Amino acid sequence: MRAASEAGTGLARTLSVALAALLAFSQAPARAEDTAAAESGIVIRKAAVDIASEPAVTPESSNGAAPAADVPPPPAEPAPAPAAEGPPAPVAPSEPLPAAVYARLNDSAPLLQRLTVKDREAIQAFYALGNFKPIWIENRTFTAAANAAIARLREAGEDGLDPNAYPVPVVGKLSRPDTDAEMAEADLELSAAFALYARDARGGRVNPAAISRLITPTLDLPPADTVLTRLAAAGAGAGDVLQSYNPRQPGYLALKKRLAGLRAGRTQGAPSVKLPDGPVLKLGMSDPRVPLLRSRFGLDASPAGTLDSAPGEADAYDRAVADAVKNFQRSRGLPANGTLTRATVAALANANVPKASASEADLLVNMERWRWLPPELGPNYVFVNVPEFKLKVFRDGSQRDEARVIVGKPTSPTPTFSGMMEYAVVNPSWYVPPSILKQMLASGRTAGFEVVRRGGNISLRQPPGERNALGFIKFMFPNQHAVYLHDTPNRSLFSASTRAFSHGCVRVDDPFRFADAVLPNWTQERLKKLIGKGERTLRLPEKLPVHLAYFTAEVDDLGSYRTLPDLYGYDGPMKVALGLAARSEAVAKGPAKEKRPNAEAARPAPRQAVAREAVRSERRAAPRRSSDMFGEPESAPTYAYPPRSYW
């Protein structure tokens, strides 16, 4: 009964907010009448002009005589253009508490660190719809929706988020009654915390472009007003609504479960203390929260007396308390100045969360990467995990097939993003990209290529065939990086365990089996019959999502946890961005340069010897590599298909 009552109360509040919005932004009846009158006036004036413009009726004209010469009517005055009317400017409410909310929203002081200007404006618009009445506080206490969402904020660590980033204000816990300004501040800070949590849960904590310009996900960041509207309408279910912004894919949930297992057996640190909201405290100030700090740090209940003075008051923020706060700040990586700031209060509320271990940091980094994927991958999709060198095809939510792939080298990484596969091309041509065209022309390695004009530019084209760098088929999902999935004539590279050989595109092992899985009505046998018969485009009846992802830690289908090589060195910068490591710990170290043993060895070797050694090194390192769209052209790519057969 209580839950139903609370839900009914939440619904009533939602309806009242919507009604207030209509009242605030609708035009007054008098204005509508004025508009109608103005419109009718225009009609009347127009009719008058029409009558005046007709030739006057004379006796001659009425008796059938020729009328006088036509006199052109005076030009009609153009109707004045209607003035553009925007929504009426918000008016300060007359009630004290809404007036305090209105005043705080018009104050430039930030509501919460990392809250964007756009989200703050959305929060302001949301409150304007309800005439600036508090959303989360009724009768000076939090509503059912607020308490449910607050419980989720305090459990943010379960999803790898930092609870300190979403501080919860305190209402009605001070020895004195809260003022209207304090109530307004608490309501708005709570709205900011909810909006920021939802944004972070959908991937807003880290700017992917700061890790690499080749990480370009399309983030689904929810607007603040949308988040607040959903939460306010959810009542006691607001916590579940807030939780729903986190990923729901099985891969993410498996990492979340492992994170909980790691933290379950961890030794807890110092006790936490939740301080009521209040001003920033500095040495020499007094505040009713100081006794809680004294208890937290094991200090005397009040400052000790001296020969010259009596014992001090318990709420005095003296040197002993300030030093204890300073030491705590230093242990949590906060500015160690002894001032009780909001960040320090938030850290004290979660003081029992120690620094993440290396394995835990790996989990948190990869949980964050799940936030960069779409909320729904789709029932049918292609998933490539670049560090795993593997591609998987899903149909109706279940894995149908998988294949080995070759991905970009560390010097030319495969991008990370999601696209939509639209068509495949059998017997494709390869057009040399401008990035390596000059290199080919300078080296003279243009045998088998044709000079063509594309888009007003000169390019080289490699015709379809056994030696084509793209093999016999490519799969296109248009994107800003111009990468795609394709075949390759050099099959031997798929036997390597570390298959990072391309210049960005993804080469697929057994591409016709992959085509059978993604192209309806096209079997392997039917596709193979098209080889050698000219270039042909096969369009998919429905676009197929393709997700190029980068995960270095995962739980496999058997429930085993494993880590993968950080192929492109993304983990270190991710840990720094998430506050899991210092910048100095995340600098990727390149291969150590080989030191020459003596001065004789430092002399440059003859050119012929250098060339011979380069050839030997290439043969020892790996089989010869063919070029893809971003690959370097080679004089004679190796064709690995057996004679008279495609496999």
Confidence bin at 591 (pLDDT 50/70/90): very low
Between 229 and 291, where is the model more confident?
Answer: 229
Residue 112 has pLDDT above 60, yes or no: yes
Give Cβ neighbours of residue 27 (< 8 Å, ≥ 6 apart): none
Give Cβ neighbours of residue 553 (< 8 Å, ≥ 6 apart): 255, 362, 363, 365, 366, 561, 562, 563, 564
Of residues 244, 623, 589, 567, the one with CA closest to residue 416: 567
403 with 390: CB under 8 angstroms? yes
Other Cβ atoms less than 10 A from the Cβ of 646: the count is 13
How confident is the model over 594-623, as a mean pLDDT? 43
What is the average pLDDT value for the chain, to the nearest integer? 78
451 with 522: CB under 8 angstroms? no
Helix, strand or coil, per DSSP, at residue 274: coil
Q: Which domains does the chain have, with CATH numbers?
A: 96-246 (no CATH), 269-304+311-353 (1.10.101.10), 373-551 (2.40.440.10)
pLDDT at 78: 61
Other Cβ atoms less than 10 A from the Cβ of 592: the count is 6
Structure tokens at 55: 């030739």
Helix, strand or coil, per DSSP, at residue 267: coil
- Name the H helices within 350-406: 358-370
pLDDT at 115: 92
Percent of the chain residues past pLDDT 90, beyond the cut:
47
Following DSSP, what letter does each residue of 42-103 receive, concatenated?
HHHHHHHHHHHHSPPP-HHHHTTPPPPPP-PPPPPPPPPPPPP--PPPP---SSHHHHHHHH
pLDDT at 208: 96
Q: Which of 60-64, 511-515, 524-528, 606-610 has the lowest mean pLDDT?
A: 60-64
pTM of the complete model beyond 0.85: no
Structure tokens at 460: 């080289």
238 with 146: CB under 8 angstroms? yes
pLDDT in tens, 327-355: 888 777 678 899 999 888 888 887 555 55
pLDDT at 86: 56
Q: What's the start-to-end Cα distance of the chain, in Å?
A: 69
Q: Is the dihedral of CA 109, 331, 320, 165 positive or negative?
A: positive
Tokens 């000079």 sit at which residue?
451
